[in-house]
Amino acid sequence: MATKALSPEWAEFFDIPPNYTTNYASAASPTAKLSLSAAPTSIAQGGSTAMTASVTYPNGSAASRVAVNFPSGGKEVGSAVTGTNGQAALAYTPTAAGTYSLTADLASAPSVASNAVCLTVTSNVTPTPPPTPTPTSSNAMLYAVVVVAVIVLVAALLALTRGARRASSQQLTSETK
């Protein structure tokens, strides 16, 4: 943690003794560590994930009052400030299905970036089945031809069957005589 004396102008404005010092999170320090987690990492469209950024100093202590940005795809989706535990949290609800690469960076030092967390958003839209085809004029014509062909075949089979019966009954009557 770094120590900085207040400027005399600010000390006078706030009625603070000029030799007073304050601790602040040196977010610009390239040695600050930033890590990101998200839960869950797979959601349905319309759902949200809880992103948590943790900022620590090189000695492992938590960095409080540090502004953290949460970008995704080059666009900031939100920001938060770390609490005394060094964590900043943000609920994120993507608007479209897809795969997102979530990161965090320090507002005062964008070069201090976190690890990337992959978020998968699945579509909850059920695809509509293709419509059932309706008979067209060519389909109706094909149907009519098939029906006529079946009728002709049935009639031919009946005629053959009748002819065969006549022939066998004539043969029986001639043998009995």
Neighbouring-strand partners of residue 23: 3
Q: pLDDT at position 75, please?
A: 87
Q: Please check whether residue 34 is in contact with residue 106, taking contact to mean a CB–CB distance below 8 angstroms.
A: yes
Residue recorded with tokens 């897809």: 98
Distance CA 149, CA 153 (A): 6
Query: ω into residue 40 within 30 of 0, thus cis?
Result: yes
Distance CA 99, CA 70 (A): 16
Considering only residues 126 and 156, tell me which one the structure prediction assigns the higher pLDDT: 156
Q: What angle do CA 105, 107, 111 make, to 5 degrees?
A: 50
- In angstroms, how far is the first alpha carbon of the chain from the final one? 131
Average pLDDT, the chain: 78
Residue among 27, 65, 162, 49 nearest 101 (CA): 49
Mean pLDDT of 102-108: 88
Q: pLDDT at position 72, please?
A: 86
Q: pLDDT at position 145, please?
A: 83
pLDDT of 176 higher than 70 = no
Mean pLDDT of 13-34: 54
Q: Which two tokens stand for residue 32?
A: 């600050």
Q: pLDDT at position 25, please?
A: 43
Q: Which two tokens stand for residue 158?
A: 């009946």
Share of the chain above pLDDT 90, in %: 33
Question: Helices (DSSP H) in the chain: which residue ranges?
Answer: 8-13, 137-176
Q: pLDDT at position 138, please?
A: 66
Q: Please check whether residue 99 is in contact with residue 45, taking contact to mean a CB–CB distance below 8 angstroms.
A: no
Q: Please check whether residue 55 is in contact with residue 33, taking contact to mean a CB–CB distance below 8 angstroms.
A: yes
Pairing of strands 49-56, 87-92: antiparallel
Stated pTM of the model: 0.55
Q: pLDDT at position 135, please?
A: 60
pLDDT range class, residue 125, cuts 50, 70, 90: confident
